[in-house]
Chain A
């Protein structure tokens, strides 16, 4: 009974807070995924450009942000960003410490990591487009932009869906690390609830179950999206895509 009360929505219950925290986790993950999509597209374009300098920069980006612990990158953005903001503040005449908002810092840090994985997903998807289709598009006189919009983008998006599903799951789990910045997402709220009620086991189990619900639910969404995107493809080709 006491357990139910702790998890409920009553006066002493943490139910409402945990629910809000779950939504916060979803919000910060979605923001990070979007930031990652922008960065990933840029990095993938750089890596595919054939320009030695751009390819090198792209390789450095994906190597560093996939090879260094996520926690370290969050520290870099959170503490580094805060000192940058403080420096700007002092320059504008504001004395004292200014912190970067934890949502922005967390979403940016996880977005940078997510971008390094998404870059590889988009690059693979682009390389999966049949060369003949690109040549055919040029042959009938499409310019670069038109070809990108009509031939490249629709196919890249379709080929990228399974990989993007994996990146979403990774990003969702990485978002738990944003708790170190104090953002009240699911991990942080479970921690606070566990600490203030001394019911560590209960609240970490509940937090873990909520994460499992999020990951299995989003798995379903991505599977459905994959089926939908491939609905015009012959059944045999679907297995390969």
Chain B
């Protein structure tokens, strides 16, 4: 083991971490928003809307992310309508294309996760809320959304870890994030194992932090499930 090489490789790779984190956070944010829209359509009861949502989920979960990303990156520029529109300065950027396709893809997976969370909300709770006069958005905001989110959280944290791994594909559309930089280092130095170890360590630490954060969130959202602390009982 060559400690000097390992540490210099680590430093080079660490410089790419902000890009990975940028891709990750933007795509989780926009993917989450889009998933909310898709899942609302899916459970709306309207045939056309839920049919569209079903189709969306089928397409984006059934095909590889890489082909979706190439479709966005290479495919969109082929059309004059897009090439000469105000969107082109954005869509020309590899980072934007990567975030767009990551968000579109994760929205399909997350929508299904959110839907299973919504299905786990007991009908009794919804009936009780209706009985005291809640309806529409108030019902969603106070009753359905908090319970559904709690149920969906474990599966959603798995999906978020998958997203972190998926950001690696952005390197194939020329975004220099950790995997892309690792690949360049490997082809410059031919020291595959050392570079792999450094990059793998970075991803494992990032994923560990995500899972810890999600576990913390889950813990703080399930206060009602735990016994009250002794001090609270006394008061």
Contact = CB atoms under 8 A, between A and B. Distances in A.
A71 B79 contact: no
B229 interface: no
Interface string A90-125: 000000000000000000000000000000000000
Contacts, number: 113
A49 interface: no
B182 to A, nearest CB: 6
B62 interface: yes
A165 interface: no
Interface stretch (B2-10, B41-49, B127-135, B193-201): B193-201
B214 interface: no
- The A contact surface, by secondary structure, is helix
A211 B64 contact: yes
Contacts of A173: 63-65
A201 B71 contact: yes
A83 interface: yes
A212 B71 CA distance: 15
Contact of A215 (B62, B74, B78): B62
Contacts of A68: 165, 199-200, 203-204
Given A83-B192, A200-B74, A201-B79, A176 B67 contact: yes
Interface stretch (B89-97, B138-146, B148-156, B167-175): B167-175
A187 interface: yes
A198 B196 CA distance: 35
A211 B207 CA distance: 29
Interface residues of A, number: 37
Contact of B193 (A67, A76, A199, A200): A76
Contacts of A208: 59, 63, 67-68, 71
Interface of A: 63-64, 67-72, 75-76, 79-80, 83, 172-177, 179-180, 187, 190-191, 194, 198-201, 204-205, 207-208, 211-212, 215-216
Interface of B: 58-59, 62-68, 70-71, 74-79, 161, 165-169, 171-172, 179, 182-183, 186-187, 190, 192-193, 196, 199-200, 203-204, 207
